[in-house]
Amino acid sequence: MAHTDIFAKLIALRDEIRRHDYLYYVKDRPEVSDSQYDLLFRELLELEQAHPELVTPDSPTQRVGAPPLDELLKVPHEQPMLSLDSIVDQGEVQTFDQRMKRELETTSVEYSAEPKFDGLSVELVYDHGVFTRGATRGDGTTGEDVTVNLRTIRSLPLQLQAHSSLPDHLVVRGEVYMRLDDFQSLNRRMTERGDEAFANPRNAAAGSLRQLDSAITATRPLVVTCYEIMALSGSAPSTHWNELETMAQWGLPIPDHERRRLCASIDDVVTFHRETDLVRDQLPYEIDGVVVKVNRRDWQSRLGMKSRSPRWAIAYKFAPRKEITVVQDIVVSVGRTGTLTPVALLKPVEVGGVTISRATLHNADEVARKDIRINDTVKVERAGDVIPAIAERVPIPDEQRRDPFCMPDRCPVCGSTVGREGAYFYCTGQSACAAQLKGAIEHFASKHALHIDGLGKKTVAQLVDKKLAQSLADLYRLKIDDLVTLDGFADRSARLLLDSIAGSKTVPLDRFLMGLGIRQVGQHIAKVLAREFGSLDQIMSADRDRFQQIREIGPEISESLVAYWSEPRNREVIAQLLELGVQVAPGTATGDRATSSLAGKTFVFTGGLDHFTRDGAQLAVEAAGARISSSVSKKTSYLVVGRDPGSKLEQARTLGVTILTEQEFASLIETGQNVVS
Ligand code: IVH
């Protein structure tokens, strides 16, 4: 065959396979048998094998085969990926409607309603109709690059269908999820192999998409549905309904026609919600509510956004499912702040596809109010992410019941006396209580705090039980000889853990604050504090009034902050941490980006570093509002060169990229000033 004929044949075969993929995976209406499809596919494969120079990334054969990654790279979203405010009852949906009418100064608003898929949201980027990048939501501002994994999802078109409205650059958002039957067979396969089963389809979808090896993702039955066009060059559809239809014209999967509805009024939305709830259990995938969106896009823009969610849409959730089971025991668990929580141990029961064997009873008042005792029959419920809870007790005559439950007067873990604040009971042992210390260390090492890789629950438990860690500061005193004594540790794993502990030493202020585990100070308040005060010293010397001047900080949070800093033991641990080399960088991990002189810069690394781990370097770069890339290009701002650099050094020299030693990198990050002239 002449080269041009081969080329034409390749294009025709790819188009035909794409069309069958679309009919099969998106439309659910195949036109050919599996064996006919296989024949076409094999023909394409053979032709491409004979002419590898003609293989293009959008070919249907290119869904699998990318080499495994070392890590998922971070990518900034073009626009933040927001979440949705949730409501559960009809009154709230009416209030939402009234608010829309009031703000739009109108008497009638049309809504587009569709299922709320229970998976994980993704951003998909198409350039000139070709799928070029996909990312998870991440923290909403920055996601993880999962392009190669997304390519393995058959319902995701690698190339969009040509259409006059197809823009050169297109960003859409959607949900990746797993169908229930696929989830069950995947779990069966996993347990047969001795792997741990996933708790629910959403975890299975998330775990499968966030794989480093796309060959594994390819074996996982994921699907995608698109629900939003973000950025688009050219003219945009005027309503959400048209937005969905437009995406469908380009070949993107959208929610099934019979599963969505254009509602002329909020009453139609309520009807749609009720009808969808009734069929919910018959759907092949999990949904946890209905998403209601103001249909007109100009009205959406007029309504705008709040900090984390749009004003023009709402998640109208379903009432949680309930199942009956028996309370086999009531135990008391001790949290990282010492709070004693009664927990019901249940005869395992499946609620909405998840097996539940424990349910929190929250506190003593709640146990008394619901009057839950051992041996009672109860209804358990679970809504989305919410920890399973006991909804109610199935009544039986009192004489057939056990005695009421009482909170212990000694901590079940350390035996210290138990204090009480209203409904809350707490252990007074503080860091002398192993449960509190373990919780505090786990929290300190967690992803949103110091992010010490490899310091999981089991390791922390051993460190505390063997008295190798009696405070947060002790983590930075650990030696290789200590770690090799732990179960599951050998020389290499011990070194890796020590590396990540050392790598955590440079930490943005907000993450450090969050890691201290001060009551009421979560990620958001930690960011607020870091932004407001700028340095740890300033925060440590602030008084109650100063905290209260901050809009987002109320009396309870100020109280908790003051109580924390007035405890000498806390100040002592912080002093030790700083002495042991922990460096708290001013500002926040994700905020302050615009003001940092490194904001928007791109760093590439080559060779081994002596003073940073990979994670530590990434954290430091991100704290400065910059990002890391894996390859050198014209856009690279700096190449950081360590021991035994690779070919990136030569590329950087050729492209005239600024080259930094590790030391120069460290001072650049610290000061935000370039030390190289
Ligand atoms: S629209 C501005 N539509 O729900 C956010 N979201 O709680 C617009 N989700 O992160 C989102 N199904 O992952 C939208 N039909 C749907 C959805 C949907 C599921 C998820 C999405 C989002 C979360 C918000």
Is residue 244 over pLDDT 90?
yes
Claim to verify: residue 473 and residue 420 sit in the same structural domain? no
Write down which residue in 456, 486, 504 finishes a domain. Answer: 504
68 assigned to some structural domain:
no
Decide if pLDDT at 132 tops 90: yes
Strand 658-661 to 340-351 pairing: unpaired
Does residue 422 lie within any of the structural domains? yes
Structural domain containing residue 351 = 320-428
State CA 610 to chain mean position distance. Answer: 31
Helices in 308-415 by DSSP H: which ranges? 364-370
User: Can you tell me which atom of ligand 1 is nearest the CA of 86?
Assistant: 7
Q: What share of the chain is helix, strand, coil (3-state, %, to 5)?
A: 40, 20, 40
Mutate to test the pocket of ligand 1, among 77, 78, 84 (most ligand atoms within 8 A of CB): 84
Residue 282 phi, psi dihedral angles, 5° rounding = -95, -10
Q: Which residue has the tokens 């019901």?
A: 344
Does the beta carbon of 291 lie inside 6 Å of ligand 1?
Answer: yes
Q: Cα dist. 473→45, 281, 435 in Å? A: 58, 50, 17
Instruction: Tell me what pLDDT residue 353 has.
Output: 66
Hey, what are 381's tokens?
A: 């419920």
Task: At 93, list the tokens.
Answer: 């949906």
Alpha-carbon span 382 to 386, nearest angstrom: 6
Confidence band, pLDDT 50/70/90 cuts, at residue 331: very high
Spatial distance between the Cα atoms of 201 and 353, rounded to a whole number of angstroms: 8
Distance 63 CA to ligand 1 centre (A): 26
430-445 pLDDT, tens per residue? 889 999 999 999 999 9
pLDDT score for 385: 46
Residues 168 and 305 in one domain: yes
**Domain boundary at 541, 558, 585, which?**
585
Average the pLDDT over 125-139 and give the result.
Answer: 94
- Res. 218: pLDDT tops 70: yes
> Tell me: the pLDDT tens digits for 427-485?
999 889 999 999 999 999 998 899 998 999 999 999 999 999 999 999 999 999 999 99
Count of structural domains, the chain: 6
What pLDDT score was predicted for residue 581? 94
Strands 111-117 and 261-263: antiparallel
Do 181 and 275 lie in a common domain?
Answer: yes
* Residue 460: closest CA among 421, 417, 510, 501: 501
170 within some domain: yes
Instruction: Inform me whether the pLDDT recorded for 143 exceeds 90.
Output: yes
Burial 362-398 (b: 16+ CB within 10 A, else e): bbbebbeebebbbebebbbbbbbeeebbbbebeeeee
Both 150 and 239 in one domain: the answer is yes
Mean pLDDT within 227-256: 90
The protein residue with its alpha carbon nearest to ligand 1, atom 13, reads 121
**CA geometry: angle 575, 579, 582, nearest 5 deg:** 95
Statement: residue 121 has pLDDT above 90: yes
Q: Out of 74, 116, 438, 601, which one is annotated catalytic?
A: 116
pLDDT at 539 (0 to 100): 95
Within this chain, do residues 280 and 359 fall inside the same structural domain, yes or no? no
Residue to probe by mutation, ligand 1, list 82, 88, 116, most atoms within 8 Å of CB: 116
- Contact present, 417 and 406 (Cβ < 8 Å): no
Instruction: Report residue 374's pLDDT band, with 50, 70 and 90 as the boundaries.
Output: very high
Compute the distance from residue 123 Cα to the ligand 1 centre, in Å: 12
In a domain, 558, yes or no: yes
More confident residue, 572 or 643: 572
Q: What is the CATH number of the domain that holds 356?
A: 2.40.50.140
The pLDDT of residue 594 is 40
- Residue 1 or residue 524, greater confidence: 524
Give me ligand 1 centre to Cα 121, in Å.
7
Name the band, by pLDDT with cuts 50, 70 and 90, for residue 570: very high
The answer to the question of residue 384 being in a domain is yes
Looking at the structure, tell me whether residues 44 and 113 fall in a common domain.
Answer: no
Q: Which two tokens stand for residue 90?
A: 């009809």
pTM comes to: 0.57
356 CB within 6 A, ligand 1 = no
Pairing of strands 506-508, 583-585: parallel
State if residue 517 touches ligand 1 by the CB under 6 angstroms criterion.
no
Rounded CA-CA distance 19/31 in Å is: 10
> Could you tell me the distance, in angstroms and rounded to a whole number, from the CA of residue 84 to the centre of ligand 1?
7
Cα 267 from Cα 38, distance rounded (Å): 49
- Does residue 626 form part of some domain? yes
Tens digits of residue pLDDT in 35-88:
889 899 999 999 999 999 999 888 999 888 777 788 889 999 988 999 999 998
Rounded CA-CA distance 441/526 in Å is 18
Q: Is residue 96 part of a domain?
A: yes
Residue 545: its pLDDT value, please? 92
Same domain membership, residue 358 and residue 300: no
List, for residues 383-434, the tens digit of each pLDDT value: 554 567 888 888 888 887 889 999 999 999 999 999 998 888 999 998 899 9
Which of these ranges, 172-181, 331-340, 615-624, 638-647, has the smallest mean pLDDT? 615-624
Task: Indicate if 106 and 194 belong to the same structural domain.
Answer: yes
CB 133 within 8 A of CB 216: no
Exposed e or buried b per residue across 249-270, where buried means at least 16 C-beta atoms within 10 angstroms of its C-beta: bbbbbbbeeebbbebeebeebb
117 ligand 1 Cβ < 6 A = yes
Q: Answer yes or no: do 135 and 261 share one domain.
A: yes
Give yes or no for residue 595 having a pLDDT over 50: no
Q: How far apart are CA 656 and CA 653, in angstroms?
A: 5
Does residue 116 line the site of ligand 1, with CB under 6 A?
Answer: yes
- Amino acid in position 433: C
What local confidence, expressed as pLDDT, does residue 383 receive? 56
Is the pLDDT at 150 greater than 70? The verdict is: yes
Mutation probe of ligand 1 site: the residue of 88, 114, 175 with most atoms within 8 A of C-beta: 175
CA distance 532 to 540: 13
Residue 610 to residue 462: CA distance in whole angstroms: 28
Q: Is 9 part of the annotated catalytic residue set?
A: no
* pLDDT confidence band for 514 (50 / 70 / 90): very high
Amino acid residing at 599: A
CB burial of residue 217 (10 Å; 0-12, 13-18, 19+): buried
